C-alpha cells in the first residue's frame, strides 16, 4: 500500500499513511503535480493524517509545496493527526495555516 | 547501548538506524512527543550524511553522558568534511506559508530541539554531536 492517496476535486483529499519521510516525500511531491495542474478547481485541501504515524521535515516540505503551488486562497485542513504528528507541524509553524480537526467538517 | 555502531551510509539502512536509536531513547524518555522529536532530529542528520557526504559508512552513538546529564547523539562519517552548524539557515516560523522557503527545515528542527550541538573533524572525519538534557520533558529512567 502506498503511503498516500490523492483525490482531486473541489475538496481535494490527500490521505497520508505510515511514514512520510525523506524516502517517501519526493514521490509524494511528484504525485501531487496533477493536483497542482488542476489547482483552479481546488477550493479546499484536506490532509487526512489519522493513519499517519510519523512525519519528518521532508514530509512538511511536501505539504508546504502543495499549499504554495495551489495558491493562497485554498483552505487547508489537517484531519485526525496524532499528538506527535501535530507537534512536528507546530514546531515548524505550519499548523497556523491549517484548520486542525479530528474529523473533517466543512 | 549504541556506541559508535557502524552502518552502511545508505537509505535502506535508515529504518534500522532509527529503530536502534529510538530503542536507546526510550530507555531515557517516556514522553512520545520527545521520543518522536529525537527520532526526527536523528533522521534529519542521517539523511544529510547519506545523501550528501559521499561516505560509505556512518557511525552512530546514542548514550547517556554523565557530565552533560544528557543523552548524547553522535553521528560520524568518512565523507567530505562539512560543518552543518557553520551556516544554519534562519527559518521564521511566523512567516506566511506562501512566502516560506521549503529548504532548511531539517536543520532548523534539530538545532531547535537539541540543547547543544558540536562539530569537529580533528581525526579527518565529520563528527556531529548533539545533546538532549534528560530533565527537559524527559523522564530519567536508566543511568
Asked if pLDDT for residue B19 goes beyond 60, the answer is yes
How does pLDDT run across B111-143, given as a tens digit for each residue?
A: 999 999 999 999 999 999 999 998 654 554 443
Contacts of B112 in chain A (CB under 8 A): 91
Asked, for residue A6, whether it belongs to a domain, the answer is no
The reported pLDDT for the residue numbered A67 is 93
Residue of A nearest to B103 (CA): A61
β-sheet bridge partners, residue A16? A4
Asked, for residue B25, whether it belongs to a domain, the answer is yes
Determine the average pLDDT of the residues in A2-25. 93
Q: Say how far apart CA B133 and CA B138 lie, in whole Å.
A: 8
Asked, for residue A41, whether it belongs to a domain, the answer is yes
Asked, for residue B49, whether it belongs to a domain, the answer is yes
Asked, for residue B143, whether it belongs to a domain, the answer is no
Contacts of B37 in chain A (CB under 8 A): 87, 91
Q: Given A58, A68, A84, which is nearest B32 (Cβ)?
A: A84
The reported pLDDT for the residue numbered B140 is 47
- Taking a C-beta distance cutoff of 8 angstroms, is the pair B60, B5 a contact? yes
The reported pLDDT for the residue numbered B142 is 41
Asked, for residue B95, whether it belongs to a domain, the answer is yes
Asked, for residue A9, whether it belongs to a domain, the answer is no
SS3 B102: coil
Q: Please report which confidence band the pLDDT of residue A103 belongs to, taking 50, 70 and 90 as the band edges.
A: very high
- Give the domain range for residue A41: 15-101
Q: Given A22, A54, A83, which is nearest B33 (Cβ)?
A: A83
Q: Which three cell numbers stand for residue A10?
A: 473541489
The reported pLDDT for the residue numbered A2 is 74
Chain B CB within 8 Å of residue A61 CB: yes
Residue-by-residue DSSP string for A68-103? HHH-TT-EEEEES--HHHHHHHHHTTGGGGSEEESS
CB contact under 8 A, B36 and A72: no
The reported pLDDT for the residue numbered A1 is 59
HSE-CB for B79 with a 13 A CA cutoff: 22
Contacts of A21 in chain B (CB under 8 A): 43, 47
How does pLDDT run across B76-100, given as a tens digit for each residue?
A: 999 999 999 998 888 888 888 888 8
CATH of the domain at B93: 3.30.565.10
Q: Which three cell numbers stand for residue A104?
A: 473533517
Higher pLDDT, B66 or B136: B66
For an interface test with B, the pick among A93, A95, A99 (most B C-beta atoms closer than 10 Å) comes out as: A93
- Give the domain range for residue B47: 2-133
- Taking a C-beta distance cutoff of 8 angstroms, is the pair A45, A74 a contact? yes
Beta-carbon contacts of residue B84 (< 8 Å; ≥ 6 apart): B45, B48, B107, B119, B128
- Taking a C-beta distance cutoff of 8 angstroms, is the pair A54, A88 a contact? no
Determine the average pLDDT of the residues in A68-77. 90
Counted domains in chain B: 1
Whether ipTM exceeds 0.85 = yes
Rg, C-alpha atoms of chain B:
15
Chain A CB within 8 Å of residue B43 CB: yes
Chain B CB within 8 Å of residue A87 CB: yes
Asked, for residue A22, whether it belongs to a domain, the answer is yes
CATH of the domain at A92: 3.30.750.24
Asked, for residue B118, whether it belongs to a domain, the answer is yes
The reported pLDDT for the residue numbered B143 is 33
> What is the b/e burial string over A41-63, where b = at least 16 CB atoms within 10 angstroms of the residue's CB?
ebebbbbbbeebebbbbbbbbbb
Asked, for residue B29, whether it belongs to a domain, the answer is yes
Asked, for residue A40, whether it belongs to a domain, the answer is yes
Mean pLDDT score across all residues of chain B: 91
How does pLDDT run across A14-67, given as a tens digit for each residue?
A: 999 999 998 899 999 999 999 999 999 999 999 999 999 999 999 999 999 999
- Taking a C-beta distance cutoff of 8 angstroms, is the pair A64, A93 a contact? no
Amino acid at each position: 500500500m502506498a503511503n498516500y492517496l490523492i483525490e482531486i476535486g473541489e475538496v481535494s483529499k490527500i490521505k497520508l499513511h505510515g511514514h512520510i519521510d525523506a524516502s517517501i516525500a519526493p514521490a509524494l511531491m511528484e504525485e501531487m503535480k496533477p493536483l497542482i495542474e488542476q489547482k483552479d478547481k481546488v477550493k479546499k485541501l484536506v490532509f487526512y493524517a489519522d493513519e499517519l504515524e510519523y512525519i519528518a521535515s521532508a514530509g512538511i516540505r511536501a505539504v508546504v509545496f502543495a499549499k504554495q503551488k495551489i495558491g493562497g486562497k485554498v483552505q487547508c485542513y489537517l484531519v485526525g493527526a496524532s499528538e506527535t504528528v501535530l507537534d512536528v507541524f507546530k514546531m515548524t509553524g505550519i499548523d497556523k495555516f491549517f484548520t486542525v480537526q479530528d474529523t473533517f467538517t466543512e | 547501548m549504541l556506541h559508535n555502531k557502524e552502518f552502511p551510509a545508505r537509505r535502506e539502512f535508515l529504518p534500522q538506524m532509527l529503530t536502534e536509536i529510538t530503542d536507546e531513547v526510550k530507555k531515557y524518555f517516556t514522553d512520545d512527543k520527545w521520543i518522536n522529536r529525537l527520532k526526527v532530529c536523528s533522521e534529519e542528520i542521517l539523511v544529510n550524511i547519506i545523501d550528501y557526504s559521499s561516505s560509505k559508512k556512518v557511525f552512530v552513538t546514542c548514550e547517556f553522558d554523565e557530565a552533560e546529564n544528557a543523552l548524547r547523539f553522535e553521528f560520524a562519517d568518512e565523507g567530505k568534511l562539512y560543518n552543518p552548524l557553520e551556516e544554519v539557515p534562519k527559518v521564521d516560523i511566523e512567516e506566511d506559508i506562501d512566502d516560506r522557503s521549503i529548504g532548511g527545515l531539517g536543520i532548523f528542527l534539530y538545532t531547535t530541539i537539541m540543547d547543544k550541538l558540536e562539530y569537529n573533524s580533528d581525526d579527518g572525519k565529520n563528527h556531529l554531536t548533539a545533546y538532549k538534557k534528560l530533565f527537559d520533558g524527559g523522564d530519567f529512567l536508566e543511568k
